[in-house]
Amino acid sequence: MAVATEIQRSGQADVTVHALERTPWLTVVTTPQVASKIRNWDLGEGECAVLARGYAHPGTEAIVDGLAARRCATTLDIPIRGTLGLVLMAKQKGVVSAAGPILE
């Protein structure tokens, strides 16, 4: 929920709603309690929420780009992937035809 709220605040709400409608496997979930060991990293609410989800569900890959969030995830053994890795994986699996336009 925190990530969706951040996106709405950024003015990208219609893009997000459109993506949610077109991507059946993408769902908004309730943010689990953020453990103090995550909160102590002084990350943004969205990053805390993503890492809390990964921490609460071992083996779940967290999508984070910020260096501090990546370091926190590594410290807590939360598997991570960045946006670039996600886009490249989508290209490899044929979900998108070209990575370049998305990355631009």
Distance of CA 79 to the CA centre of its chain: 12
Q: At 64, which CATH number?
A: 3.40.50
CA distance 77 to 69: 12
58 phi/psi in degrees, rounded to 5: -50, 140
- Domain containing 74: what range? 2-103
For residue 92, what are the contacts with CB-CB under 8 A and spacing of at least 6?
none
Q: What is the pLDDT of residues 39-78, one digit of tens each?
A: 999 999 999 999 999 999 999 999 999 999 999 999 999 9
Predicted local distance difference test score (pLDDT) of residue 17: 65
Q: How many structural domains are present in the chain? A: 1
